[in-house]
Structure 1
Amino acid sequence: MEYFFWFALFIVFYTYVGYGILLYLLVRVQRLVRKSRPTYVTEYESLPSCTVIVAAYNEASMIRQKIDNTLQLRYPADKIRYIFVTDGSTDETPALVGEYPEISLLHQSARNGKIAAVHRAMREVATEVVVFTDANTLLNTDALIELCKYYSDEKIGAVAGEKRIYAGAEADASAAGEGFYWKYESALKRWDSELHTVVGTAGELFSIRTNLYESVPLDTILDDFMISMHIAGKGYLVKYEPLAFATEMASENVKEELKRKIRIAAGGIQSIVRLRRLLNPFAYPVLAFQYISHRVLRWTLTPILLPVVFVLAALLHVYDAGILYSGLFYGQLIFYGLAVLGFLLERKALKVKIAFIPYYFCVMNYAVLAGMLRYVRGGQSAVWERSNRKQTLTAITIDKRNME
């Protein structure tokens, strides 16, 4: 029992903390060995031609802000094109997009899912680079430049931007937890990118070389992740640029965030099954190491081991196996006690971040278990759903002071 406890504890620790420490050390060593860091095109007129694709479903409350934000992005005017796809929208979204002659509107009444809409949009693309961004996010002014400068290096096939969560005075469990998670996730992505390649991209903001786009099946849940991982599997690098960032509100509440996380978890299992060739360390030595450490453990083994670690620590404490086990048991008891407190405080709309972060951690891991079950049962649809956010970003100034 002790051996299994330490194995389980090691996997949990490595997944959430250990990989970050190891990755940071590897990057520091690489910096010492590498004589110079790569440089990329910074001349404005030398940037590649680019198409921005926005897939929007019933985003009438946000779409004007998204369009205005998109048209204000700095980029050579003769090298930029905008495509908005509004398939299945039943509100005023298509009509509102149609008011802007600068934007190519693609709309059809059938709601076949986001990836079907993206496939249709890609048939209209003739530029060297494509940038994908969600309809409910706003980008910083130089986002396109910061993404596209990398394509002067032929080894780079995709570039991911940074996702930022807006957290003002109204921050609650979903905002605090999601914000903290994305801060840590962004650090891991920066180090992953510097060591070798980013393991997957987020749909809020990422770009690819157009000629590397590979259609994924229409039932794909995490299309953005799959598209970028196919590019990595072809031997190209996926880089991360935090100076290109997409800002969005946190989920309306933890219930909405849970719904989103369950969908992501189901998509994670689907991705692991379909990308199983990338788990081969002999064919993809560094990529497989990063993929397993950063993604696969989070989506499979570790959430199962969390309750196992707690139960085994409790048993070892009861059987008086030593003060170390008692300390580990009480430490977990305090952590999960704070999670319960976070749950109770959220229901009463009270704001105590020290309790919200353990609560969010537990919700996130419960979502993985629920997502596994949903995937096995075949109950997760790939048709995109609009997430409920706290409010639109209409009056929000995008700057670092307002981000988590």
Structure 2
Amino acid sequence: MTAFYYILVGLFAGLSFVVFYTYLGYGLVAWVLVKLRGNRYQNSQPAELPHVTMVVPAYNEADYLPAKLRNCLAQDYPADRLHFLFVVEGSTDGSAEFLARQEIPNLRILSGSQRLGKIAAMNRAMSEVQTPITIFTDANTQLNTEAVSRLVSRFTEGVGAVTGEKRIQMADAESAAGSGEGLYWRYESFLKKLDAQLHTIVGAAGELFAIRTDLYEPVEPDTLLDDFVISLRIAGRGYRVEYAPDAYALERPSHSVGEEKKRKVRIAAGGFQAMKRLAYLLNVARYGWLSFQYVSHRVLRWAVTPFCLPALLLLNVLILGVLYVGDTQIPAGAARLWWGMLGAQVVFYVAAYVGYVLENRQTRLKLTFVPFYFVFMNWCVLLGFARFNRGNLTGVWEKSKRAA
């Protein structure tokens, strides 16, 4: 019985380390490595600004198009070198008609009666792009006026793609879902800065990212995470994916927990789909730093840690059960330690549940929204895994509602 106890303790310690490393440890390791190695990558403005095409997939986004178009035209990039390509295929809300009425020389519209999904729209758009740099941005986001200039400035030698920063635009009284989403993206931005300084970003933000046009590879039509797959495939070809936090896209938080759940389950299913298609990046002997960053920042978070959390709770209960068998060779006082560990887990999950209840009542409590959002994200990963295993994934999905 003593040996079984120590096996359980070893498993508990191992899984605890995985959870810690995934959410905090990797950030610490990356920070130390950056301090030891230094940031070897310097940015410089190109001698001549290249022509750039902004591709905006916009299915039934008529409510956002006027503001998006004004935002695109307000960019401080030279107007004669900035081109716009709006893809509105399948839209039934007058998007194509609105854009057709605009007298903008560098504006092109791709439309059609059939909705084939965002990926098919992007593949179609890329066959039309003739500029050396392509920037993808969503119709429902607003960019800072320097966004294009700052993305372009990062395209130094060896850089194949550049991602901007996603920022969540929240009012003071936003829901817990919005608050958690904002906190999550602030931490993600911190990690991306470290990733870029260490070697490369492992996943672009679909709201705003740029690539060298000639590096684009058509993406499978059923792909759920196009930004992630496109950027990682470019990194896998030996190019760096740079980070431009001073080029950002503002987006409103999800309308409700239900809408955020819908979005995160789809992202999680897309994560498992992407990991299957990008399995070759696990070859550390070939991909080196990229493999290390990919596993540490993505694979553990998507494919390992969410399964560790319920396992830790179960292991804690099993350990207490072994202790009460009465084996005198187990150190005295161990029971107090493991009751304390179980109590800490229970308190954390109770706080998460309270956060969930308060969210449904449109009330936010800072002490509960962090555990709520943490548990919520990992629960969505488990649901996403189930969805991935069911198959029948499609690149055509229902859009999640955003807060007004």
Q: 1:108 corresponds to which residue?
A: 112
Structure 2, unaligned runs of 5 or more: 1-7, 325-333
Q: 2:178 corresponds to which residue?
A: 175
Q: Partners of 1:379 and 1:173 in 2: how far apart?
A: 32
Q: 1:65 corresponds to which residue?
A: 67
Q: 2:328 corresponds to which residue?
A: none
Q: Decide whether the 8 Å contact of 1:338 with 1:358 is kept in 2.
A: yes
Q: Partners of 2:350 and 2:162 in 1: how far apart?
A: 40
SS across alignment from 2:285: coil
Q: 1:94 corresponds to which residue?
A: 96
Q: 1:359 corresponds to which residue?
A: 372
1:358-397 deviations in whole A, cap 9, x for unaligned?
Answer: 1111111111111111111114321143220011xxxxxx
Q: Decide whether the 8 Å contact of 1:198 with 1:240 is kept in 2.
A: yes
Answer yes or no: is 1:49 the counterpart of 2:36: no
Amino acid at match of 2:303: T
User: 1:120-269 to 2 correspondence within 5 Å?
Assistant: 120-151=124-155, 153-269=156-272
Q: 2:361 corresponds to which residue?
A: 348
Q: Partners of 2:19 and 2:98 in 1: how far apart?
A: 48
Q: Decide whether the 8 Å contact of 1:164 with 1:247 is kept in 2.
A: yes
**1:325, distance to aligned residue in structure 2 (A):** 2.7
Q: 1:402 corresponds to which residue?
A: none
Answer yes or no: is 1:326 the counterpart of 2:339: yes
- TM-score, with length taken from structure 1: 0.92
Q: 2:315 corresponds to which residue?
A: 312
Q: Decide whether the 8 Å contact of 2:222 with 2:393 is kept in 1.
A: no
Q: Decide whether the 8 Å contact of 2:59 with 2:89 is kept in 1.
A: yes
Report the RMSD for the aligned CA atoms in angstroms. Answer: 1.4
Of residues 99-108 and 281-290 in structure 1, the stretch that sits farther from structure 2 once superposed is 99-108
Structure 1 residue corresponding to 2:27, chosen from 9, 20, 42: 20
Q: 2:18 corresponds to which residue?
A: 11
Q: Decide whether the 8 Å contact of 1:57 with 1:386 is kept in 2.
A: no
Aligned-residue sequence identity (percent) comes to 47
**1:30, distance to aligned residue in structure 2 (A):** 1.8
Of residues 89-98 and 173-182 in structure 1, the stretch that sits farther from structure 2 once superposed is 89-98
Q: Partners of 2:343 and 2:124 in 1: how far apart?
A: 55
Q: Decide whether the 8 Å contact of 1:58 with 1:386 is kept in 2.
A: no
Amino acid at match of 1:17: L
Amino acid at match of 1:40: S
Q: Decide whether the 8 Å contact of 2:161 with 2:231 is kept in 1.
A: yes
- TM-score, with length taken from structure 2: 0.92
SS across alignment from 2:196: helix
Q: Partners of 2:116 and 2:144 in 1: how far apart?
A: 30
**1:24, distance to aligned residue in structure 2 (A):** 1.1
Aligned length: 385
Judging changes above 3 Å, is the alpha-carbon distance between structure 1 residues 48 and 322 closer, same or farther for their aligned structure 2 residues?
farther
Q: Partners of 1:387 and 1:208 in 2: how far apart?
A: 26
Of residues 113-122 and 99-108 in structure 1, the stretch that sits farther from structure 2 once superposed is 99-108
Structure 1, unaligned runs of 5 or more: 392-404
1:57-93 deviations in whole A, cap 9, x for unaligned?
Answer: 1112111111111111111122110000011111122
